[in-house]
Structure formats: structure tokens, C-alpha cells
Amino acid sequence: MDKLKRMSRRRKEAHAELVSLESKVYRAFLDMERAAFADGSLTKATKELIAIGISVVINCESCMQWHIEQAAAAGASRRDVLEAIEVGIEMGGGPATAHARFALEVMAEVYAE
């Protein structure tokens, strides 16, 4: 899907630019992200699933893409991701149902059969 590839490319470009600019705030954000998603009482996969549900509620397409990809890489199944999307739908009501459409597109791409 072209949109997902464009989003991934732009995310990588922005990451490289912020790193090259030596952004202290961005570096702190990356440190916080590593700490937040590290295995602890909850696994990284579980934390990524939580982030998917939140991403659906706030309608952050880039977040949905990133966290679905990260959840898959951490071992979450297609069904796990779907259930996280469903929790987001319930928490966000009607608007989140519309937002979930994008998450379903990403899931289809990541778990292509």
C-alpha cells in the first residue's frame, strides 16, 4: 500500500533529521519510548497492543501503523491486534470505529497472507 510506504519513509526521514540536528527533546523522547515499551510486568507485545487501542481512539494513523508493526515484530498475532483495535473501538465509540478502518488496512498489510 503506497500510503503506508510513504508514511514509513517520512517517519524514517524525520527520525534521521531530528537525530542529525541533535535534538535533545527527541533524544529524550526516544529514551522514554525505549523505557515505556521495554519488557517488565507487561511484555513489549502487550504494551504495543495497548498503544494500538489508544492510537485508534486518538485517530493517529502513523501511531497505528508503527504500533501494529511493532506488535507484530514482538510476537503479537493478527487476532491480538484485532482485539486491541476492538478495545479502541469500544473506548472511543462511533468515531473510533471510523478510525479503526485505517488500523484494519495496516493489519492487512503487516499480516499479508
Residue pair 51/63 in contact by the 8 Å Cβ criterion? yes
Nearest-angstrom CA–CA distance, 91 and 105: 20
How many folded domains does the chain comprise?
1
Q: What is the pLDDT of residue 94?
A: 87
How does residue 33 score in pLDDT terms, banded at 50, 70 and 90? Answer: very high
Q: How confident is the model at residue 1 (pLDDT cuts 50, 70, 90)?
A: low
Q: pTM (2 decimals)? A: 0.86
CATH number for the domain that contains residue 55: 1.20.1290.10
Query: What is the average per-residue pLDDT within 72-93?
Result: 96
Going by C-beta distance under 8 Å and a sequence separation of 6 or more, which residues neighbour residue 62? 7, 11
Residue 106 has pLDDT above 80, yes or no: yes
Report whether pLDDT(62) > 80.
Answer: yes
Domain that holds residue 83: 2-110
